[in-house]
Amino acid sequence: MKVDDSAAGPVLNRLRRAHGQLAGVIAMIEDGRDCTEVVTQLAAVCRALDRAGFKIVASEMRQCLGSDTDPAGRGADGEAVPHPRLILSPLFTCPGCAPSHLA
């Protein structure tokens, strides 16, 4: 399955940011930096990866859920279709990351 074109740019930006942060973490460990600083930067890498993963999954869910919805956001059965962020946010480890980064 291909990443949705509208999501690919933001996902790549987040992954590049995580890549740079991870390189920084490696350099910090090699330089013998304080473990508190290392863990703080490692947490930033985790958040960046969570956000990238959330964006990919949410964009695919939007396509899947959105294909059968009416303008009011109801499915073919008349039931409201939940927003992807409501479904996905509990799956990601970074508290608060998912809801504000779905755009």
Q: How confident is the model at residue 95 (pLDDT cuts 50, 70, 90)?
A: very low
Contact 28, 37 (CB under 8 A): yes
pTM above 0.75, yes or no: no
CA dist 69 and 43 (Å) reads: 37
Domain 5-93 has CATH 1.20.58.1000: yes
Residue 5: the pLDDT is: 82
CA dist 36 and 31 (Å) reads: 14
Q: What is the mean pLDDT of the chain?
A: 76
